[in-house]
Amino acid sequence: MGLDVSFDIFIVIDLIIMSMLLVVGIALVRLNNLFAVVMLYGVYSLLAAIWFVSLDAVDVAFTEAAVGAGISTVLMLGAMLLTSREAKPTPALRRWLSLGVVGVTGMALFYATFDMPNFGDANSPANSYVGLQYMYDTITEVGVPNVVTAILASYRAFDTFGEVVVVLTAGLGVMLILGIGTTRTRDGESPQSGDETTQSAPPVTTVLATENHHIVLQVVAKILIPIIVLYALYVQFHGDYGPGGGFQAGVIFASAVILYSLIFGMDETRRAIPAKVVQFGTALGVLIFGGLGLVTIAMGGKFLDYDVLTAADPILGQHVGILIIEVGVLVTVASVMLSIYYGFAGRYRELKDQDW
């Protein structure tokens, strides 16, 4: 550090990205226009993803790009369409109070930095203890080149099971509160839902239109969507070898369907993937994942002990186990993303171009 002769370009890149994150963060706090806020969130996530790449955390970067910059931007826009485009300005007192809390939190973190190990220190606890052991043991114990996948899907598979349940819970929340839009909400499907929201909302504008002059978009989408789905499958099954896995693949798959619905309309999408199927899928993934845990117990092992899946070859058992649970992750994540999208999309009318 300091005035070292060796000049590390990555330090410069990190510093630039971090200052950009800071600027975007401050802009986010100061803006009242929700559309701009949502867009800046996307920018923030993308910057974070780039930063993670520079930190060699490619899997995390991939997830951040797919979830943070990709699908949550779409979902946030969907949510914004249901409410308002402008946030009410915060009262001054509350603003200062929040600043105080943030300031104290920041000071606590700053206070901690003095005793933190140096950046990239090979002898830091995080790099030398359990982390190092994963690096040594993965190839003999799990037999998967991507250590991140080994940790996520085998060593700490139970955490991942919990995360998939978290995703399911979020999906259930949206389905319970907004409905999944099995029929158009306009027909008064669920009486208690949404009359107030739509009244208080400004005239909604959406990009859902099926006019003929979208023909260019339609042709392009028809070419793109199969490729996106194919890519999702690649990410899914290549997760053992490179960055990727069920979470990212599920999100990519869901975004292909969302793209389809933006261009061909919600009705077409519901015909292709009915809401009932989506609802079933949210639970199915958890059932696959948890079911495998029960199977391993039935076969004489512990919960999610893949070694017992194949009697002769524990490494093969690990491969089979990881493959199965990643499918579970894919199914639940993709279905929940779609259920949230269906929930939002079911709440507003499809507008024609002239309504813009």
Partner 1 sequence: MNFIEMITNAGGGHLLANAPALVVAIPLIAGAVAVVLGHGKLAWVWSVLIALVTFGFSLILLQSVLGGETITYAMGNWPAPLGITYHIDALNALLISLVSAMALLALLYGWPMVEREIDPKKHAMFFGTFLLCVGGLIGVAIAGDAFNVFVFLEVSSISTYVLVAMGAQKNRQALTASFNYLILGTIGATFFVIGVGLLYMATGTLNMADISRILADSEGNRVVRAAFAFIVIGLGLKTAMFPLHTWLPNAYTFSPSMIGVFLASTATKVAFYILIRFLFSVFHAGASFETAMFDFVLAPMAMVAMIVCSVQASFQSDVRRLLAYSSVAQVGYMLLGLSLGTAAGLAAGLLHMFNHALMKGALFMAVGLAGLGLGITRVNELRGLGKTMPLVAAGLTVAGLSLIGVPLTAGFISKYYLVIAVLERGWWWAVVAIVVSSVLAIFYVGRMIEAMYLQNPPTPSAAHESDPPIQVRSPVLSMAALYVLVIGSVWFFFDPSLPKGLADTAAGLLIGGGGL
Q: Are 232 and 239 in contact (CB under 8 A)?
A: no
For residue 33, the SS3 value is strand
Strand partners, 33: 86
Q: How far apart are CA 78 and CA 86, in angstroms?
A: 15
Q: Applying CB under 8 A, which of residues 190, 202, 220, 226 lies at the interface with partner 1?
A: 190
Residue 213 per-residue DSSP state: G
Q: Are 333 and 167 in contact (CB under 8 A)?
A: yes
Q: Applying CB under 8 A, which of residues 39, 163, 198, 310 lies at the interface with partner 1?
A: 163
Interface with partner 1 in residues 36-65 (CB under 8 A): none
Closest distance of CB 129 from partner 1, Å:
3
Interface with partner 1 in residues 67-96 (CB under 8 A): none
For residue 86, the SS3 value is strand
Closest distance of CB 108 from partner 1, Å:
5
Q: How far apart are CA 210 and CA 353, in angstroms?
A: 9
Closest distance of CB 267 from partner 1, Å:
21
- Indicate the burial class of 22 (C-beta count within 10 angstroms; 0-12, 13-18, 19 or more): exposed
Interface with partner 1 in residues 229-288 (CB under 8 A): 279-280, 282-284, 286-287
115 binds partner 1 (CB under 8 A): yes
Q: Applying CB under 8 A, which of residues 19, 169, 183, 205 lies at the interface with partner 1?
A: 169
Q: How far apart are CA 110 and CA 18, in angstroms?
A: 15
Closest distance of CB 107 from partner 1, Å:
10
Kindly report the number of other CB atoms within 10 A of residue 235's CB atom. Answer: 24
Site string for partner 1, 303-322 (x = CB under 8 A): xxxxx---------------
Nearer to partner 1, 103 or 117 (CB): 117
* C-alpha count within 13 angstroms, C-beta hemisphere, residue 19: 5
Nearer to partner 1, 7 or 111 (CB): 111
118 binds partner 1 (CB under 8 A): no
Tokens standing for residue 292:
């495998």
Q: Applying CB under 8 A, which of residues 166, 227, 272, 311 lies at the interface with partner 1?
A: 166
103 binds partner 1 (CB under 8 A): no
In whole angstroms, how far apart are CA 65 and each of 46, 79, 232, 337? 6, 20, 14, 15
Choices 79-87, 124-132, 233-241, 243-251; region in contact with partner 1 by CB under 8 A: 124-132
Nearest residue to 164 via CA among 276, 343, 341, 327? 327
Q: Applying CB under 8 A, which of residues 75, 144, 175, 262 lies at the interface with partner 1?
A: 175
Return residues touching partner 1 (CB under 8 A): 108-109, 111-112, 114-117, 124-131, 133-134, 137, 154-159, 161-163, 165-166, 168-170, 172-173, 175-177, 190, 192, 196, 279-280, 282-284, 286-287, 290-291, 293-294, 297, 300-307
